[in-house]
Structure 1
Amino acid sequence: MTKQLSWKVGGQQGEGIESTGEIFSTALNRLGYYLYGYRHFSSRIKGGHTNNKIRVSTTEVRAVSDDLDILVAFDQETIDLNFHELRDGGVVIADAKFNPTIPESDTVTLYSVPFTEIATELGTSLMKNMVAVGASSAVLHMDISAFQEVVQEIFGRKGQQVVDKNVEAMKKGAEYIAEQLGEGLETMHLEPADGKKRMFMIGNDAIALGALAGGARFMPAYPITPASEIMEYLIKKLPEFGGTVIQTEDEIAACTMAIGANYAGVRSLTASAGPGLSLMMESIGLAGITEQPVVIVDTQRGGPSTGLPTKQEQSDLMAMIYGTHGEIPKIVMAPSTVEEAFYDTIEAFNLAEEYQCPVILLTDLQLSLGKQTVEPLDYHKVDIRRGKLQVNPDLPELENKAYYKRYEVTADGVSPRVIPGTKNGIHHVTGVEHDETGKPSEGAQNRNDQMDKRLRKIENIQFPTPVYKNAKHDEADLLLVGFNSTRGVIDEAMARLEKDGLKVNHAHIRLLHPFPTNELLPLVKAAKKVVVVENNATGQLANIMKMNVGHAEKMTNVLKYDGNPFLPHEVYSRSKELF
């Protein structure tokens, strides 16, 4: 028996690869296993190689595995592209239709199963993915009943006959493999899971759910990979809570509509990827100077331009911090797990209203689209804070037709705020520099006063966990640093390095701007060497660290920008080279 293994299904996009992985992983999740999945897919609707790699474990996992135990192949290309990942003792389960072959190997076994033929005999070749799920269950020594409930949910609306046919296809696939296996492959027999119920979701769904729980009731957005699932989730759910989603003509309209809704007192967000954020930059500046709260999600992908729209990268960091013209207060957050994506989205709305500024929730494709096990969310932790917004206020009457001081210069930099139309709350709102009432003003002293006021509001920002720390050493040989989805691979690499006798700490940056210098600096000082792990070509996080904490002589970059996420052994081996 084994406590952990990795399974991958691959084929041409559009032939059921995603649904195969969904059925397989959902069933295992319901049995109580921990899962971490990552989809490799092409930037076209149909055709092109795609695969779904799922790590299954009896204990928590937060990273893609280095190797592979089972490869389910719907075409020869899947074998050619993914065979190198298979460990000694690994298995290929392939559709007999394409006469599969594997490189000569004494350690990997090929099982040729007539997926298409069995499915066709049962009524349609489309059920070949169900035959593959059944074959996989047999290799894992799992009863087919574990998958039947999932099949019922997915196909139930099409009628019981369709459900029965798909279950029969799974059984046929399991029986075919079982006859070939005999009593073999005991190493693929998974130890029983704990049976506990946990969620299994992608980061985008967690963000959308967090927006809903955090009080958002309006989302204008333009579809773009890999952010669209946020919009798609809220299209279904927001109307149930009196909210709505509007698909705008472009990202410029999306951002300005979100700003307008927040101005009117409705919590609103928009979500996009790098190209969309580029279009929003002028609008983000508008939110900054008018001091309107707005939450914007940036799901990073491969760039520049269209770049690698369906691949992993972390290259928007500098743009999110410094992309706007002029200088405005801005908060940039970076969750590193699906749970954090949920809670951080709620916090993003709170911070946006408390500090009256744009808040960017920065994720990456691996976090946004990778599916992972999530412990039940605690809705008692949901706390709605609206800052200085005066809802239904009894404002004093203004004398001599004066205006409300919406942009009053205050000690903490945050001015009073009212919903437009509030009695005695009349004021100007404009994108040009203005005085305390919002009237345009180009006076030098006024300019200094308003700029200083806006910028000082985030000097003492209160953020629950600006840096995630896995740091048990007062003095360390090595400090590993990252942000977003690299947290899991860094923790695994850290464990391997510790086994080699090194003292290793891990810091994961969750508040990127304003930068948490005071939180990170002691860890940097306490380390002999610092390795910054990031999916970009120029070491953007490392450069920001050098600007804010110094100690550049200690820092080394571990970079990857080929469109693929880091694997644990890559971080481990490149860190080990330093010693």
Structure 2
Amino acid sequence: MISQLSWKIGGQQGEGVESTDRIFSTALNRLGYYLYGYRHFSSRIKGGHTNNKIRISTKPIRAISDDLDILVAFDQETIDLNSHELRAGGVIVADAKFSPTVPEGIDARLFPVPITAIAEELGTSLMKNMVASGASWALLGLPIDVFNKAVEEEFGRKGATVVEKNVEAVARGANFVLELAGGPINELQLEPADGKQKLFMIGNDAIGLGALVAGCRFMPAYPITPASEIMEYLIKQLPKFGGTVIQTEDEIAAVTMAIGAAYGGVRSMTASAGPGLSLMMEAIGLAGMTETPVVIVDTMRGGPSTGLPTKQEQSDLNAMINGTHGEIPKVVLMPSSLEECFYDTIEAFNIAEEYQVPVILLTDLQLSLGKQSSELLDLNKVQIRRGNIATDAPAREDGKLFKRYEFTADGVSPRILPGQKNGIHHVTGVEHDEEGRPSESPVNRKKMMDKRLGKLANLKVPNPIHVNAPHESADLLIVGMGSTGGTIDEARARLDAEGITSNHVTVRLIHPFPAEAFKAEAAKAKKIVVIENNATGQLADQIKLHAGCADKIVNVLKYDGNPFLPAEIHKECKGLIVHGNV
């Protein structure tokens, strides 16, 4: 028996690939397996090749696998594009309708199953996804009752007849392939899972849940890939807790509405991707100038312009750090796991209110849309910190307003919510004095700039870098961000097995950069390898700017729209050693 395998299904977008993957992986989750998924899809509603890949394991995993054990194909294009990933002796389950063939040089066992024909016999070709799922499940030799339960959950709202038809489709697919293969395939039999309950969701859902738990009660947003699922999650959940989601006419309206609500005392957020964040920059500057706390999620995708809307990239760092004109304090956080998506979203709201700044939560497409397993979240870890909110404003002298922007030792002024007695003050995007009145005084200008920019001098963020450093002196320090963390760890395990010592740092606080913490880890390594899904090495540039180490840094960049695989990072890092560059 094996401890893990990889399964992929592919076809034309809109013909059931997504639902097949969803039911298949849900059933595996019910058994207690750890899962990690990657979805390759086109930037259109229907048509174009799409595939979903799921890695199944008895142990925690946080990376896509290099190879593939089972490929389910609804068309020949799926075989042609993906069969190269199959390990020797891998399996292809294909719809017999298109007379499937295995490309020359591919060592794979082909099982043609009349997937569409069986579905049509049962009443509709739409059920071919269930026929294909049943065939896959049968080859793994897993209990069919668990799968049927997942089918019931998926289709139960459509009535008993629909459920029965889909269960029959599963059985027909399973029986047909078992007859072809002579029973379940021994090499594909998974070791039993631990059976423990696990969460299974995408990063965007974890962000939405984190916002809900943080006390966010208003989200204005405009749909955009790959951020829309955050809005879709909160549309369903926020009204249950007295909150509201508004789909705005554009991203400018979304961010300004979020800022307005936050000024009114409501924890508010919006979410978008690179093009949307470009439109929000002026308003983010307004939040910085008016010291209004607001949380903004940027789910990075391929750019520039419309770019690759449905593909992986990590190229928004420079924009998130420097995109606003002028100079304001802001915080840019980047979670690297499903759990961190949840906890970091809560922390983003806390930081925004404690320091009265805009906080950008930065993710990438793979983390936002990749479905993965997680241990149950611990609500005992959750803290809500609302910062310096004035609850007892002193009576005003004649003509005097509340000092909303009062100069204080730490730069954080008392914040008062609208409607509170004695709290009247000006709010404006131009430079202002302590009461908010416009001011062009050079002395005031310098004091206000110093006050705002100095607020983050005492910023405290839990684990600004995530460190996995077993070696006091290592050949390599491998550095990444976002979804690359688990991939780097797998590559490191292979390096260590070959006698190449490596430590690992995932940077979680992108801005302000945690220079001192990073320097301490950089000093332990001969070379620093920075792994990024962009073309210009934006994270490496931040390291050089704030921590130095330029002579030790090697860039490993990938910007073809696909995430890194463990084998790619292993190859690049090993090459440094083999070629004597360390």
TM-score band w.r.t. shorter chain: over 0.9
Q: Give the SS at the match of 2:458.
A: coil
**Aligned partner (choices 512, 518, 521) of residue 520 of structure 1:** 518
**Aligned partner (choices 499, 502, 506) of residue 501 of structure 1:** 499
Q: Which residue of 1 aligns with 2:313?
A: 313
The aligned amino acid for 2:220 is P
Give runs of ≥4 in structure 1 deviating > 2 Å. 104-107
2:433 and 2:444 in contact (8 A); partners too: yes
1:459 and 1:514 in contact (8 A); partners too: no
Q: Give the SS at the match of 2:456.
A: coil
Q: Which residue of 1 aligns with 2:551?
A: 553
Quote how far apart the aligned CAs of 1:483 are. Answer: 0.5
**Aligned partner (choices 566, 570, 573) of residue 571 of structure 2:** 573
Q: Tell me, in whole angstroms, the C-alpha distance in 2 between the residues paired with 1:96 and 1:81.
A: 18
Q: Which residue of 2 aligns with 1:127?
A: 127
What does 1:467-482 correspond to in 2, within 5 Å? 467-482=465-480
Q: Tell me, in whole angstroms, the C-alpha distance in 2 between the residues paired with 1:447 and 1:476.
A: 48
Quote how far apart the aligned CAs of 1:401 are. Answer: 2.7
Q: Give the SS at the match of 1:372.
A: strand
Q: Which residue of 2 aligns with 1:428?
A: 426
Q: Tell me, in whole angstroms, the C-alpha distance in 1 between the residues paired with 2:146 and 2:113.
A: 21
Gaps of 5+ in 1: none
1:13 and 1:46 in contact (8 A); partners too: yes
Number of residues of Structure 1 aligned to a counterpart in Structure 2: 577
The aligned amino acid for 2:518 is L
Alpha-carbon displacement from aligned partner over 1:124-167 (angstroms, at most 9, x marks no partner): 11111101011001110112212111111111111111101100
Q: Tell me, in whole angstroms, the C-alpha distance in 2 between the residues paired with 1:397 and 1:169.
A: 74
What does 1:313-392 correspond to in 2, within 5 Å? 313-390=313-390
Alpha-carbon displacement from aligned partner over 1:349-380 (angstroms, at most 9, x marks no partner): 00000000000000000000000001111111
Q: Tell me, in whole angstroms, the C-alpha distance in 2 between the residues paired with 1:395 and 1:459.
A: 27
The aligned amino acid for 1:406 is R
Alpha-carbon displacement from aligned partner over 1:89-108 (angstroms, at most 9, x marks no partner): 20000000000001235731
Q: Give the SS at the match of 2:266.
A: coil
Q: Tell me, in whole angstroms, the C-alpha distance in 2 between the residues paired with 1:275 and 1:372.
A: 27
Alpha-carbon displacement from aligned partner over 1:183-219 (angstroms, at most 9, x marks no partner): 5621101111010010100000000000000000000
Q: Which residue of 1 aligns with 2:580?
A: none
1:244 aligns with 2:244: yes
1:416 aligns with 2:414: yes
Q: Tell me, in whole angstroms, the C-alpha distance in 2 between the residues paired with 1:79 and 1:129.
A: 17
Q: Give the SS at the match of 2:38.
A: strand
Alpha-carbon displacement from aligned partner over 1:367-413 (angstroms, at most 9, x marks no partner): 000000011111111111000012xx232211123111100111111
The aligned amino acid for 2:269 is L
Quote how far apart the aligned CAs of 1:472 are. Answer: 1.0
Q: TM-score, structure 1 length as denominator?
A: 0.99
Q: Tell me, in whole angstroms, the C-alpha distance in 2 between the residues paired with 1:110 and 1:137.
A: 16
Q: Which residue of 2 aligns with 1:197?
A: 197
2:92 and 2:109 in contact (8 A); partners too: yes
**Aligned partner (choices 485, 490, 493) of residue 492 of structure 1:** 490
1:227 and 1:368 in contact (8 A); partners too: yes
1:289 aligns with 2:289: yes
Q: Which residue of 1 aligns with 2:178?
A: 178
Q: Tell me, in whole angstroms, the C-alpha distance in 2 between the residues paired with 1:576 and 1:18.
A: 37
Q: TM-score, structure 2 length as denominator?
A: 0.98
Q: Give the SS at the match of 2:542.
A: helix
1:95 and 1:116 in contact (8 A); partners too: yes
Q: Tell me, in whole angstroms, the C-alpha distance in 2 between the residues paired with 1:201 and 1:468.
A: 22
Over aligned residue pairs, what C-alpha RMSD do you find? Answer: 0.8
The aligned amino acid for 1:108 is A
1:135 and 1:173 in contact (8 A); partners too: yes
The aligned amino acid for 1:110 is L
Q: Tell me, in whole angstroms, the C-alpha distance in 2 between the residues paired with 1:489 and 1:143.
A: 31
Q: Which residue of 2 aligns with 1:89?
A: 89
Q: Which residue of 2 aligns with 1:459?
A: 457
Q: Which residue of 1 aligns with 2:232?
A: 232
The aligned amino acid for 1:294 is V
The aligned amino acid for 2:125 is S
Q: Tell me, in whole angstroms, the C-alpha distance in 2 between the residues paired with 1:411 and 1:97.
A: 74
Quote how far apart the aligned CAs of 1:536 are. Answer: 0.2
Q: Give the SS at the match of 1:417.
A: coil
Alpha-carbon displacement from aligned partner over 1:264-303 (angstroms, at most 9, x marks no partner): 0000000000000000000000000100000000000000
2:84 and 2:106 in contact (8 A); partners too: no
- Identity rate, percent: 70
Q: Tell me, in whole angstroms, the C-alpha distance in 2 between the residues paired with 1:433 and 1:401.
A: 20
**Aligned partner (choices 386, 390, 398) of residue 396 of structure 2:** 398
- Check 1:561–1:367 CA distance in 2 against 1; reply closer, same or farther (3 A cut): same
The aligned amino acid for 2:484 is T
Q: Give the SS at the match of 1:515.
A: coil
Q: Tell me, in whole angstroms, the C-alpha distance in 2 between the residues paired with 1:283 and 1:347.
A: 22
**Aligned partner (choices 540, 547, 561) of residue 538 of structure 2:** 540
Q: Tell me, in whole angstroms, the C-alpha distance in 2 between the residues paired with 1:121 and 1:450.
A: 74
Q: Tell me, in whole angstroms, the C-alpha distance in 2 between the residues paired with 1:197 and 1:372.
A: 13
1:434 and 1:441 in contact (8 A); partners too: yes
Q: Give the SS at the match of 2:180.
A: helix
Q: Tell me, in whole angstroms, the C-alpha distance in 2 between the residues paired with 1:389 and 1:311.
A: 42
Q: Give the SS at the match of 1:348.
A: helix
Q: Tell me, in whole angstroms, the C-alpha distance in 1 between the residues paired with 2:404 and 2:412.
A: 10
Q: Tell me, in whole angstroms, the C-alpha distance in 2 between the residues paired with 1:310 and 1:184.
A: 36
Quote how far apart the aligned CAs of 1:6 are. Answer: 0.2
Q: Give the SS at the match of 1:545.
A: helix
Q: Give the SS at the match of 1:123.
A: coil
The aligned amino acid for 1:456 is G
1:404 and 1:426 in contact (8 A); partners too: yes
Alpha-carbon displacement from aligned partner over 1:222-269 (angstroms, at most 9, x marks no partner): 000000000011111111100100111110010000000000000000
1:29 aligns with 2:57: no
Q: Tell me, in whole angstroms, the C-alpha distance in 2 between the residues paired with 1:189 and 1:210.
A: 37
What does 1:136-155 correspond to in 2, within 5 Å? 136-155=136-155
Q: Tell me, in whole angstroms, the C-alpha distance in 2 between the residues paired with 1:494 and 1:130.
A: 39
The aligned amino acid for 2:77 is E
The aligned amino acid for 1:461 is L
